[in-house]
Amino acid sequence: MTDLSFRAKNLPPMRRDGRIVNAMSVDVEDYFQAQALAGVVDRTDWDAQPSRVASNTHAILDLFADQGVKATFFTLSWIASRHIDLVRRIVGDGHELASHGSQHRRADVQSPEAFRRDVGGAKRRLEDIGGVEVLGYRAPIFSIGAANLWAFDVLAEEGYAYSSSVYPVRHDYYGMPSAPRFAFLPRSDCGIEEYPITTVPLLGRNLPAGGGGFFRLLPYALSRAAIARVNAADRQAAVFYIHPWEIDGDQPRFKRLPLKSRFRHYLNLNKTLDRLTRLAGDFCWDRMDRVFRPGVVC
């Protein structure tokens, strides 16, 4: 059972000029771990691939430092163990360190016991490396939905305070279109909070507006208009996400990809950093814990 009354209590922070503060997030994973490449890169071959996640994430960190943006970095513990200095820079720069699980395994293909080992182990490893408490979790490929709501119970039991794992859209990889568009309690008896990725309603359907592939594939003006609408019409904070590999037009190319996957993964990679720079300047942004946790002044 979900608690929809939570939304009314979760008013977003605002700047002194009246602008709503939105939540910026980065899903820290390497290009070869993306869902579109799952059919051509086996997990057992990950260590053999040339890693580009550190340089790409440092570029995003540089951009955020220039723009005065703080963000939440949902990080795979697999990445953190191999790039300890990167994790320490994330924390040292004042960003929130959060969990993306251990090895980018979908939550909806794991048993409750395997999921517990995944998220519990990732939390402990990230905390050990980063030296800070990890409160947030985002499921790889937004893979918590109506069929595995038990995952929220496990997250709460493992010490997480919130999740950002639901995308209220219809999509062939993920989606829970029946979910609330804004913050809610997915399990009223366990207390963990869910902050879904931002959407805008149109003709009875929710359209994606929170980043990822849609940010790359569609004109920037559409993303800007969608976030502005959520701020102005809904009076809610937007949740935006991006992957480090999405700013990397020079990443290795895999030629055996199906056309659909090739289109999704490679289109407009060279334009994304410029778009992210514009987005950082067009809106107010902060870490997810400060945007959504009560009592924090931005």
244-274 pLDDT, tens digit per residue, is 999 999 999 998 888 888 888 999 999 999 9
Q: What is the mean pLDDT of residues 183-187?
A: 89
Per residue, what are the HEC states of 91-142? HHCCCEEEECCCCCCCHHHCCHHHHHHHHHHHHHHHHHHHCCCCCEECCHHH
Q: Which two tokens stand for residue 187?
A: 């399990």
CA-to-CA separations, 254 to 36, 151, 257, 262, 266, in angstroms, rounded? 11, 33, 6, 8, 10
- pLDDT computed for residue 5 by the predictor: 43
Mean pLDDT over all residues of the chain? Answer: 91
Of 2 and 31, the one with more pLDDT: 31
CA 180 – CA 260 distance, rounded (Å): 29
pLDDT beyond 70 at 4 = no
- pLDDT computed for residue 246 by the predictor: 97
Using 50, 70 and 90 to split pLDDT, how confident is the model at 175? low
Using 50, 70 and 90 to split pLDDT, how confident is the model at 8? very low
Which of 166, 143, 267 lies closest to 216 in space, CA to CA?
267
Cα-based angle 242, 244, 248 (whole degrees, multiple of 5): 115
CB-based contacts of 218, cutoff 8 Å, min separation 6:
none
| Per-residue pLDDT tens digits for 195-227 | 999 999 988 888 889 998 889 999 999 999 999
pLDDT beyond 80 at 146 = yes
Locus of tokens 């939390």: 123
- pLDDT computed for residue 16 by the predictor: 65
Residue 223, strand partner residues: none
Longest dimension (CA), the chain: 52
Residue 193, strand partner residues: 162
Q: What is the mean pLDDT of residues 186-193?
A: 79
Using 50, 70 and 90 to split pLDDT, how confident is the model at 171? low
pLDDT beyond 80 at 7 = no
pLDDT beyond 50 at 276 = yes
Sign of CA dihedral 20, 289, 92, 51: negative
Looking at the chain, which runs of residues are DSSP E strands? 21-28, 72-75, 96-99, 136-137, 162-163, 193-194, 199-202, 205-208, 239-242, 284-286
Question: 3-12, 80-89, 92-101, 227-236: lowest mean pLDDT where?
Answer: 3-12
Locus of tokens 């605002």: 14
Q: What is the mean pLDDT of residues 179-201?
A: 89
CA 180 – CA 2 distance, rounded (Å): 9
What is the percent of the chain with per-residue pLDDT over 70, rounded to a whole number? 92
CA 220 – CA 276 distance, rounded (Å): 9
- pLDDT computed for residue 172 by the predictor: 60
Question: 103-107, 176-180, 186-190, 215-219: lowest mean pLDDT where?
Answer: 186-190
